[in-house]
Amino acid sequence: MVEYNHKESEVTIMEFNRELIKTDRNGSKHYIVTCSCPKCGGTGIFHYTYFNAQGVCFKCEGTGKVAVKEVIRTTEYEEKLNQRRLARQAKEREKKEIDREELINKVFPEGKVYITLGETYSIKEDIKAHNGRYDSFNGWYFTCAKDAQNFKTFAVDVKVASPDIKVTKNGYWITMVAVEKPREESKSQYIGNVGDKVEIEATFVRAFPIILVLVLFL
């Protein structure tokens, strides 16, 4: 038997007979409603399955009618239930947030994420050996300074990285947002800045004669 609920103001399903079973203290009324079968539309037959039991509908057994349980609640009680539902959902969200904070503090005990810089492909095995993890947005990173001390890294507050942690059979599945890495200063072959005067001692080594050929076209 199918059970469904609705408010007094809503339209019920197409019914043939309604029988009141009980009335709760909160005003909710319980009915047994005989209505047309939703599977066969009240015909009792499936023509495209006629080869099986001559097309008789298995839900209503060929009668074309089914009995469902209907609960009609008052508007006041429905509002009360809705408030309970919202309070329960808020409590569940708060519990999830607390669990998330505890998990982050466990995985990132220092509250920092140490993200590697530069080329890491050639040293990825060494990074793995020092408990390094890989993130699709930020590359290799470490969760504590002790593991990252032998590598070129920069520290980011864990709130900036905003990690999302899920517990798996083999440990944790961690995803983070993309963090902007600091740019490395490239070494220039030039001395000084534009506009500066520079004194350099130069040694004359060799001179090359220049021959000018003038071709006159008459």
What is the residue extent of each domain of the chain?
Answer: 2-73, 108-175
3-state DSSP of 27-65? CCEEEEEEEECCCCCCCCECHHHCCCHHHECCCCCCCCE
Three-class SS state of 98 = helix
Looking at residue 152, what is its pLDDT?
Answer: 92
Q: What is the pLDDT of residues 39-85, one digit of tens each?
A: 888 888 876 665 566 778 888 888 888 888 888 888 899 899 999 99
CA distance 96 to 90: 10
Say what the pTM is.
0.47
User: What CA–CA distance (Å, rounded) separates 15 from 65?
Assistant: 9
Q: Which two tokens stand for residue 121?
A: 């492909």
Of 97-101, 161-165, 187-191, 193-197, the poorest mean pLDDT is in 187-191
Phi-psi region at 97: left, alpha or beta (left = phi > 0; alpha = psi -120 to 50): alpha
What is the rounded CA–CA span in Å between residue 57 and residue 55?
A: 6
User: Quick check: helix, strand or coil at residue 151?
Assistant: coil
